[in-house]
Structure 1
């Protein structure tokens, strides 16, 4: 079992540094292309939560452990010095906060929260699998947003949609257009995309960023993927 660990400060740059650690850890791994998109998103969200919400004394660091388990499953652990477990509450990907555990529940094959052994605080762990979880939309897809997100292979459409929507929700998009995109790829969406992929192997919609007088077009494209 491979393992890599690091300590991070409670700093806004720590999520980015954690993602770099994960990319280094998965470098040359045969399933890196499938593990990395979901792994980066979940690791970033968990570290962001530890930076933003953990009630810990000044100077306490965040500990990250990355492991490759049998059958190629990626295990992520994020430790902080706050012993209070996060309280799950209804959240959606349109929220500016509270998305971390929502994404973990949606994308991880397993997850949990445990007290740290021999010390104060807790850690949240999750498993990311290169194989689909057995949902309705299990075929591998390649998805990207022109000018924003390079085409990336995901083990299933259900893995791809939250990552795409997470990119959209960060952008300055008019409310009506955002609502339309949300119906396509946001929480609870995707049925129309799945149907289109089953018929033609390709689905696309254009994301318009900006206002009525100053905007740029960024096609969102999803295609079926055969290794």
Structure 2
């Protein structure tokens, strides 16, 4: 499944809605912590593509069917910029610069690769039933975000 993204910040909301609409068919319900994490990752990676490249992008989701519960969920965003993604150290008052840190903390695996003149940034989430601690694998008993409150809309 893929969605073409225009270089427009309003596309981030459309990408979230598109991803959310595809979750139920794969057995990932809207209130599931995996769904909320996935939507947050979609938001971060699409925002990065739109804001930092100014070029169209493609969002791809690989959502294994319910029977393949051990298969990870994979999210990819490909864009036409050859610039490597660079994690930043955002100051306390900065309004941005935390996207890749969130991806690193929430995804079980992530990376990027050159693709033609552009690049593909990807991340994977293991399909666990138990919420996990930020930065830990499946099976943790603590809420996935500690005391952090957020809402993906």
**Alignment partner of 2:140: what SS?**
coil
Give the 3-state SS of the residue equivalent to 1:27 in structure 2: helix
Match of 1:14 among 11, 15, 25: 11
Structure number with greater CO (CA < 8 Å, separation at least 6) is: 2
* TM-score of the two chains, using structure 1 as the length reference: 0.55
* Structure 1 gap segments, 5+ residues each: 140-155, 168-227
Offset, 1:94: 6.3
1:74 CA drift (Å): 1.2
Q: 2:57 aligns with which of 52, 56, 62?
A: 62
Kept in 1: contact 2:84–2:119 (CA 8 A): yes
Residue 73 of structure 1 and its aligned partner are, at CA, apart by 1.9
Partner residue of 1:76? Answer: 75
The structure having more radius of gyration, on CA atoms, is 1
2:100 corresponds to 1:101: yes
Distance 1:43 1:93, change over 3 A: farther
The gaps in structure 2 that reach 5 residues or longer are none
Question: Deviations along 1:56-81, whole A, 9 cap, x unmatched?
Answer: 5xxx4210110025514210001111
8 Å CA contact retained: 2:88, 2:98: no
Q: Judge conservation of contact 2:103–2:110 (CA < 8 Å) in 1.
A: yes
Give the distance between the partners of 2:93 and 2:125, measured in 1 at CA: 23
Q: 2: distance between equivalents of 1:49 and 1:35?
A: 21
Alpha carbons 1:83, 1:120 under 8 Å: kept: yes
Please state if 1:128 is matched with 2:125. Answer: yes
Between the aligned partners of 2:147 and 2:77, the Cα distance in structure 1 is 21
**Secondary structure at 2:145's aligned position in 1?**
helix
